[in-house]
């Protein structure tokens, strides 16, 4: 049985989970027949799982997902026209290894944001950082940052550090010149270094005009669409579907 001094040292080193694992073994008669190495391995496995799960929960909380209950296991496919194979492939997060972008395109209510949050949570489950943000909120952060010394630089550095950045309501509203300049700088820093997920109502042939046309639109699109996985969110209104399910 572990003495109090050993427990204190484990807590001080950040291994309080090991105490729970060891005490659980002490209460389990079957553990008495295990070798020291077997018991130690089980303690290590328990501590690893607990710390990994705690890290995942911290990442999920920090990501600020709009739908906190979103999960790949909860994605509805029936009658929707959603490419199940493609979604399941994205769930492996292999696209992040090549820093590919993902674009969920569909009408309002088609479930783009839920899909994005589910994919973002999958990223967190693998121990990687994600961040969800609406474009209007992104520009509010920029405006607030502009009031502080080196604020824009620090914000861009922070945004460039997420393994997956989810930009919701992409191109919903017209962008000013300052908006386009900021978006370009953000995308440029993430280009070929991290993956960005876009949720938009607009198809690719509408992007250039929505971005104001000209060389800035060319530059922004060049860094997004040529290494992007396009996903049609399907033809079902998922808000109506969810409302009906709630009434059932």
* Mean pLDDT, range 35-56, rounded to an integer: 74
Question: Does residue 36 carry a pLDDT above 80?
Answer: no
Question: Does residue 149 carry a pLDDT above 70?
Answer: yes
Statement: 64-247 belongs to CATH 3.40.50.300: yes
Residue 111 Cα distances to 5, 147, 157, 170, 237, angstroms: 54, 36, 30, 14, 7
Of 34 and 79, the one with more pLDDT: 79
How large a percentage of the chain has pLDDT more than 70? 90
CA pair distance 150, 202, nearest whole angstrom:
34
The token pair at 190 is 């993430």
State the chain's maximal CA–CA distance in angstroms: 74
CA pair distance 66, 111, nearest whole angstrom:
12
Question: Does residue 226 carry a pLDDT above 60?
Answer: yes
Reading phi first (left if > 0) and then psi (alpha if -120 to 50, else beta), residue 66 is in: alpha
Q: Are 91 and 122 in contact (CB under 8 A)?
A: yes
Strand blocks (E) in the chain: 101-105, 130-134, 164-168, 195-200, 228-232
CA pair distance 163, 178, nearest whole angstrom:
25
Banded pLDDT at 53 (limits 50, 70, 90):
confident
Across the chain, mean pLDDT equals 89
**Residue 47 pLDDT:** 65
Percent helix, strand and coil across the chain, each rounded to 5? Answer: 60, 10, 30
**Residue 111 pLDDT:** 95
User: Any idea how long the chain is?
Assistant: 248
Give the residue extent of every domain in the chain.
4-62, 64-247
Question: Does residue 191 carry a pLDDT above 90?
Answer: yes
* pLDDT, tens only, 82-121: 999 999 999 999 999 999 999 999 999 999 999 999 999 9
Q: Could you tell me which of 167, 96, 109 has the C-alpha nearest to residue 138?
A: 167
């Amino acid at each position: 049985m572990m003495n109090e001094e050993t427990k204190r040292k484990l807590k001080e080193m950040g291994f309080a989970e090991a105490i729970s694992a060891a005490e659980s073994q002490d209460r389990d008669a079957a553990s008495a027949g295990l070798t020291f190495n077997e018991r130690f391995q089980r303690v290590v496995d328990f501590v690893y799982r607990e710390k990994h799960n705690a890290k995942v929960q911290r990442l999920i909380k920090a990501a600020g997902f709009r739908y906190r209950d979103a999960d790949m296991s909860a994605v509805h496919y029936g009658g929707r026209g959603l490419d199940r194979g493609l979604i399941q492939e994205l769930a492996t997060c292999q696209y992040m290894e090549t820093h590919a972008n993902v674009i969920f395109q569909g009408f309002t209510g088609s479930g783009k944001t839920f899909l994005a949050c589910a994919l973002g949570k999958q990223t967190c489950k693998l121990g990687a950082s994600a961040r969800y943000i609406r474009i209007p909120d992104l520009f509010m952060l920029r405006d607030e940052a502009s009031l502080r010394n080196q604020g824009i630089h620090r914000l861009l550095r922070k945004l460039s550090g997420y393994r997956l950045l989810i930009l919701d309501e992409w191109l919903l509203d017209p962008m000013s010149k300052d908006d386009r300049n900021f978006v370009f700088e953000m995308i440029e820093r993430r280009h070929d270094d991290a993956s960005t997920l876009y949720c938009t109502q607009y198809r690719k042939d509408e992007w250039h005009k929505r971005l104001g046309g000209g060389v800035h639109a060319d530059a922004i699109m060049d860094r997004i669409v040529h290494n992007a996985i396009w996903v049609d969110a399907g033809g079902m209104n998922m808000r109506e579907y969810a409302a009906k399910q709630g009434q059932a």
